[in-house]
Amino acid sequence: MKKITDLLTETVSAAFQSAGYDAALGSVSVSNRPDLCDFQCNGALAGAKLYKKSPMAIAEEVCKSLEGMDEFKTVSAAAPGFINLTLSDSFTVRALSEMSGDEFLGVPQCGKGSSIVIDYGGPNVAKPLHIGHLRSAIIGESIKRTARALGYNAVGDVHFGDWGTPYGLTIAEYKVRHPDWPCFKDDFDPAKDVIPDIDEKEMNEIYPYASAKSKDDPEFKAESRQTVVDLQNRKPGIYDLWKKIKDVSVESVKRIYEKLSVDFDLWYGESDSDKYTEELVKLLTDKGLLYESEGAMVVDVAEEGDKISVPPIIVKKSDGSSIYATFDLATIIQRMKDFDPEKIWYLTDKRQNLHFVQVFRCAKKAGIVDETTELRHLGFGAMTGPDGKPFKTRDGGVMTLESLIEMVDAAALEKLKDSEYISGSKEETAHKIGMAALKFGDMQNQPAKDYIFDVDKFLSFDGKTGTYLLYTVTRINSILKKAGMSYESAPKITGIYTTGERELSLALLLSPESVVRAFNEMAPSALCDSAYVIATAFSKFYHDNRILTEEDEQKRSSWLALCALTGRVLKSTLECLGIETVENM
Ligand code: ARG
């Protein structure tokens, strides 16, 4: 189905054309003044310059040819030349019915036939997920689901950090602590030597320790640099220990992502890009882009007009090892070969903005992607404590993502303590509510901005929260149940009987617009806004009408149909946000 603004744009463009003006002026958008009209077109203002005529005169002419059209209840020209449009009830009912009958609930399938790779999550081997990993995981998951809702073949890749400097440090520290392990012997034989089991607690503790130690222990630092080179050369023993550490990390990370309902199609890591490094270096060399600078091999990526200095991108370090940027460039080669995507999008915190500028420029310059491939990075802000500083544990440490989830779950369970309405397990329901609260609390913000973590506010039943939205869905579930119908068996919407209903209908008709916007702007907040507007319009409609006891059968069944459509739209919007609903609460 087309978006409603696109449909109306067609109608208004035809009206501009029939009045003798350029059809391109007929672009329709959602009204800035919902008190005056539902939609507006500002084309007469632009047309005034083109046709040297007053905008009001043009607007009036266009309105003339729109008047009496079945789409509109009112069409009017407003100074200085706006065209204000209000939908007719009959058109609204038709559009709602069409939406209800559409398997995609009116969301245009504009991604059909295109692929997008979304790189999110970004965990690292041997480092536990901490709260800094939350946003990439949940915003990325939402963008992937939104892409799918639009018909894209969307591929989520976790892009594990597993092949760079940190793993040299980690393995070098293992060697200090366990010098007797066979993997550190020169005659290590993978066929018969066994590496002891990895203790997760020790593993999680090793990297920060080793990283700090390398700062004032040059010998250890040199050892760990050699270890990265060995690892990247897949030296037996070192490589086998790395594989073992990686397995433990992947398992632990998967367990936590599962709690967040975050899932990936590809569990690739930096190490998987390794097979394309040679091709990368050859390509950069053949194009004459790669040159030596202070021993390292680099590519210039600065451009005229840069407002900040963009340093050359390092592709190989002086010891020949690959680093973060190398992996990203080689991974682009891999993704182009595997999926030939139209877009590759990345989600990390905004401190990595410059890194991605360098990588994208280098990829374009080298022709790894062509001009039309969209490489895009969303750099998001931090989740902070009430003081505006990065959120910390009570004793000032970095909070693991797992502890954060446990904390939110516990708070949600406390809230549900006295509820009698929960049919299944209270823990499971609390977890769903907790995650809805956490995700909605995060994603309702503009991604680039920092936001304050406030579990009590997120879990509140009132206001713009995930909890309120889940509650609204349970309310609809219960109405339908009491009426003895299911979402699938709901009747038809036959009319608009009250003002509240009209508001709700318009909010529903606009929901596909928010899906498109959330995707185009990489901003799930558009989905949060839409869900919230729908939920509040629904609450008003529900409050103002006695739906179940309404005596006029036609009205009652139309209202029930509207409830069912509202529930479906809310559920599918929440689904795009990666939020699971609950049957009752
Ligand atoms: N592992 C990285 C980190 O912790 C994030 C990876 C993001 N993705 C990428 N393709 N660079 O910072």
Q: Give CA separation, 376 vs 175, 220, 303, 405, in Å.
A: 40, 38, 18, 29
| 8 A C-beta contact, residue 533 and residue 507 | yes
What sections of 417-491 are H helices per DSSP? 426-443, 455-458, 466-482
Q: Is 348 in the pocket of ligand 1 (CB under 6 A)?
A: yes
Q: Is 121 in the pocket of ligand 1 (CB under 6 A)?
A: no
| 8 A C-beta contact, residue 553 and residue 443 | no
Residue 157 pairs in a beta bridge with 119, 266
How far, in Å, is the centroid of ligand 1 from the Cα of 123? 7
Does residue 496 lie in a domain region? yes
Question: In the prediction, which pLDDT does 269 show?
Answer: 96
Q: Is the dihedral of CA 72, 536, 492, 1 positive or negative?
A: positive
The Cα–Cα gap between 196 and 8 comes to 67
Q: What's this model's pTM, rounded to 2 decimal places?
A: 0.96
Q: Is 157 in the pocket of ligand 1 (CB under 6 A)?
A: no
Environment class of residue 300 by beta-carbon count within 10 Å: exposed (0-12), middle (13-18) or buried (19+)? Answer: middle
The secondary structure element, H or E, covering residue 59 is: helix 55-66
Q: Is 130 in the pocket of ligand 1 (CB under 6 A)?
A: no
Phi and psi at residue 10, to the nearest 5°: -60, -45
Q: Is 512 in the pocket of ligand 1 (CB under 6 A)?
A: no
The secondary structure element, H or E, covering residue 16 is: helix 4-18
- Residue 190: strand, helix, or coil: coil
Does residue 535 lie in a domain region? yes
Does residue 414 lie in a domain region? yes
Decide which of 26, 58, 87 is a domain's last residue: 87
Q: Give CA separation, 219 vs 223, 235, 242, 394, 568, in Å.
A: 6, 21, 22, 36, 62
Identify the DSSP state of 321: -
Does residue 386 lie in a domain region? no
Q: Is 346 in the pocket of ligand 1 (CB under 6 A)?
A: yes
Q: Which two tokens stand for residue 280?
A: 């990368």
Does residue 493 lie in a domain region? yes
| 8 A C-beta contact, residue 156 and residue 118 | yes
- Residue 530: strand, helix, or coil: helix
Nearest CA to ligand 1 atom 5: 122
Read off the CATH number of the domain in which 24 is found: 3.30.1360.70
The residues, any chain, with a CB within 8 Å of residue 422's CB and separated by 6 or more, are 416, 429, 582, 584, 585
Question: In the prediction, which pLDDT does 418 show?
Answer: 84
Domains contained in the chain, number: 2
Question: In the prediction, which pLDDT does 394 show?
Answer: 81
Q: Which two tokens stand for residue 165?
A: 């400097």
Q: Which two tokens stand for residue 171?
A: 């393995």
Does residue 408 lie in a domain region? yes
Q: Give CA separation, 303 vs 299, 357, 467, in Å.
A: 12, 11, 47
Full domain range(s) for residue 545 = 403-576
The Cα–Cα gap between 388 and 227 comes to 39
Read off the CATH number of the domain in which 463 is found: 1.10.730.10
Query: Which ligand 1 atom sits closest to the C-alpha of 324?
Result: 11
Q: Which of 377, 389, 294 is nearest to 343 (CA)?
A: 377
Decide which of 44, 72, 87 is a domain's last residue: 87
Decide which of 62, 87, 112 is a domain's last residue: 87
How far, in Å, is the centroid of ligand 1 from the Cα of 161? 6
Residue ranges in the chain modelled with pLDDT below 70 = none
The Cα–Cα gap between 15 and 66 comes to 6
Q: Is 442 in the pocket of ligand 1 (CB under 6 A)?
A: no
14: how many CB neighbours lie within 10 A of its CB? 15
The Cα–Cα gap between 351 and 583 comes to 40
Does residue 441 lie in a domain region? yes
Query: Which ligand 1 atom sits closest to the C-alpha of 356?
Result: 11
Does residue 20 lie in a domain region? yes
- Residue 298: strand, helix, or coil: strand
